[in-house]
A and B are shown apart, each in its own frame.
Chain A
Amino acid sequence: MRAVRFHGRGGQGAKTASRILGTAAFLEGFVAQDSPMYGPERRGAPVAAFTRIAQTPIRERGVIVHPDLVVIADASLMQDPAAHVPEGVDERTVVFVNSPLTAEQLQSQTSLPGRFTTLDLTGIALQQLGKRTAISALLGAVAGSLIGLGQESIREAIARELAELGLAAPMIERNQTVAAQCYETVPRVAIDVGLRRPTAPVPLRTPTYDPPTRGAASITAGPNSAIRSMAGWRTFRPVLRPDLCNGCWLCFANCPEGAITIKPDGKPAIYYPHCKGCLDCVEVCPTDALTVERETAATREA
């Protein structure tokens, strides 16, 4: 069996990618299984999806704990503890990252084991498919290529899955073309087909009673949501040019998150860890003091 785990952010297409891979494998006559994992979060938040491919019946379900291939749709997820990217990744795991960096560059920046390969799918999509489209077809194609599925079945699977989502025929075709190109160009790393080490029984803990101050789903440390960083949610970021700002506060009034604060001088400041990159502030700014920049790993850190 091959187990492929997709990590993405809501809206990027990780779930559809896992379906494209599943359908392609099915079309080739394999036993396939795909499933998404739903978290609480929506567009922008970490999501995961799983595809299993085998020649015999699959005796597993749900989360893939020991992936052969991990497909990361958004490099920022590697730093996001909520995404659980490192889980079960070892030296044998092939790790694909959607990133403009090379595998070597990425590998040197991360403690994640695994054998890396990369391709700038977002860049390709921005150029050839348009702003903010999902990259599901491209992720599916890359995964298919790495796992060794044929190009034709990937092409057909893209058609089926994107049609299912209601995409129009011309858009599906464009996706197929760009996906084919990604299929060809992604640097291949061979999947390790060796047997996995057997797992040891885990120590079990007998649950004990806690007083209801702790034992009920109640939060007394609020408001504490602000300790979470939303930086990873952004594909684009608003950038403020103070010289153009007239201090009208419209951006502050319209930011759904409250990520824009007003400084003592009455001028706005964006607090990036709280900004989800919706760009509502850019929309309302009357003076073009807010502009849009594509997010990169480097800017996100800042």
Chain B
Amino acid sequence: MNADMMTGNLAAAWGARLADVDYVPAFPITPQTEIVEALSVWCGNGSLNARFVTLDSEHSMMTAAGAAAATGARVFTATSSQGLLHAFEVLYTIAGWRVPLVLVNVSRALASPITLEPDHNDVLAARDSGFLQIHAETCQEVVDSILMAYRIAEDPRVCLPVMVNLDGFYLSFTREPVSLPDPKMVQAFLPPFRPTHLGFKASAPHALGTAVFGGATYSYFRHQIHLASMNALQVHEEASVEFERLCGRRYDVVEGYRLDDAEDVLIMTNAFASKGKGAVDAARAEGRRVGLLRLRMIRPWPADAIRQALQGRRAVAVLDQNLSPGQGGILFQEVAACLYHEALRPRALCSFIGGLGGKNISEGEFRAIFEQTAEAGINGQGIGPILLYTEAEHREMVQLQVLAGGLKS
């Protein structure tokens, strides 16, 4: 196996390179920048036969990306945080064009206060745009998911853009072994992009993204985006099988970890799921029957897979690395909604909010989560949202406040 040490960002760039993209519109933002830096070098030295263009903003970058895809090019682009939100209206716009491009988002918490480290409020803000979303746990999964993303996006049953998410710092700047798929294998997995419904050319004029009037017409097209997104569950399944056949690695819409006899299940996404798995191992060693469910595909929402994984459990805890102020955890809401119709639904649903702005989730916090979740299961009474914060962190915060405001501690 030809594995190599590689950051998540470099893995993302390799995903684009292996997919043999035609066009890379770019704009820098930490912690994404290395992706486009690598691509600009490759485009410059000919190792990737694509045009690289730096736009004036992410709003422009996403527009150029969508427009190029609408013209018939295979497009890759990447952003993060403020950049994703700066492009927000364009996400909806180009999803409506039904252009199958891939956007990598490197998660980073949103201002204000401005910071650099990750949480998932950026990517989840885009969950209603029509983009599909795949969230990666490892650098290996980043490159593999990008290849799968193109295959799913370009399938005529889908034709929607896909966002592949990786955590800033914890993946973007973290090196670990990545085995790059063989380019021949990629060719077999990913046929050339030859869309039938896109492409501006003299011999086939058409108008795209036209105004519509009346709710019935608008509803039809929004329904189509929904149906296309739902089709992606099946298309993903097919892509998974094929990817495993060619590459030996298997990715499903959700990943279960030590679920078999688990009474209580912790739900996580992205890079910190690795820590969650470690915490499961530690708890298992102490005799707790716990497991972890990692949500990999967020859009379309794999409701059946989630229901199947959770039915009959005692308690389920969702650890959201995001916060919808005034509501709580975003994924908790969605998990809760898809369990409502489950006859064997868990006795308790617990909501924890952690890891905001890259805040660590310590072993001790995981222990607390498992304890409280177990107790909730026994009581048959859900809890949350619980905002994870340790006493030690609080003491440090007070010190900072003293410095900032001269408060008496």
A associates with B:
yes
Q: Which of A's residues lie within 8 Å of B, judged by CB?
A: 39-40, 207-213, 215-220, 222
For A212, the chain B residues whose CB sits under 8 A away are 98, 156, 159, 197, 224, 228
Question: 20 A-B residue contacts at CB 8 Å?
Answer: A39-B213, A40-B211, A207-B227, A209-B157, A209-B224, A209-B228, A209-B231, A210-B224, A216-B97, A216-B197, A217-B96, A217-B208, A218-B206, A218-B208, A218-B210, A219-B206, A219-B210, A220-B204, A222-B205, A222-B206
A208 B227 Cβ-Cβ under 8 A: yes
Q: Which residue of chain B has the shortest Cβ distance to A39 in the bound complex?
A: B213
For B210, the chain A residues whose CB sits under 8 A away are 217-219
Q: Which of B's residues lie within 8 Å of A, judged by CB?
A: 96-98, 156-157, 159, 196-197, 204-213, 217, 220-221, 223-224, 227-228, 231
Q: Which residue of chain B has the shortest Cβ distance to A221 in the bound complex?
A: B206
Q: Which residue of chain B has the shortest Cβ distance to A215 in the bound complex?
A: B224
Q: Which residue of chain A has the shortest Cβ distance to B156 in the bound complex?
A: A211
- A199→B156 CA distance, assembly (Å): 40
A63 CB to nearest chain B CB (Å) = 10
Q: A216-B96, A216-B221 are in contact. Are A222 and B197 (CB under 8 A)?
A: no
B223 A40 Cβ-Cβ under 8 A: no
For B96, the chain A residues whose CB sits under 8 A away are 216-217
A40 B220 Cβ-Cβ under 8 A: no
Q: Which residue of chain B has the shortest Cβ distance to A40 in the bound complex?
A: B213
Q: Which residue of chain A has the shortest Cβ distance to B218 in the bound complex?
A: A217
B231 A211 Cβ-Cβ under 8 A: no
For B217, the chain A residues whose CB sits under 8 A away are 217
Most buried by B among A212, A219, A220: A212
The 3 closest A-B pairs by CB, nearest first: A215-B224, A209-B227, A212-B197
Q: Which residue of chain B has the shortest Cβ distance to A213 in the bound complex?
A: B197
- Known contacts A209-B227, A211-B197, A215-B98; 8 additional CB pairs below 8 A are A39-B213, A207-B220, A207-B227, A216-B97, A217-B209, A217-B210, A218-B208, A218-B209
B196 CB to nearest chain A CB (Å) = 6
- A99→B228 CA distance, assembly (Å): 50
CB < 8 Å neighbour of A216 from B98, B213, B227, B231: B98
For B209, the chain A residues whose CB sits under 8 A away are 217-218
For A217, the chain B residues whose CB sits under 8 A away are 96, 208-210, 212, 217, 221
B206 A215 Cβ-Cβ under 8 A: no
For A216, the chain B residues whose CB sits under 8 A away are 96-98, 159, 197, 208, 221, 224
B69 CB to nearest chain A CB (Å) = 12
For A222, the chain B residues whose CB sits under 8 A away are 205-207
B214 CB to nearest chain A CB (Å) = 8
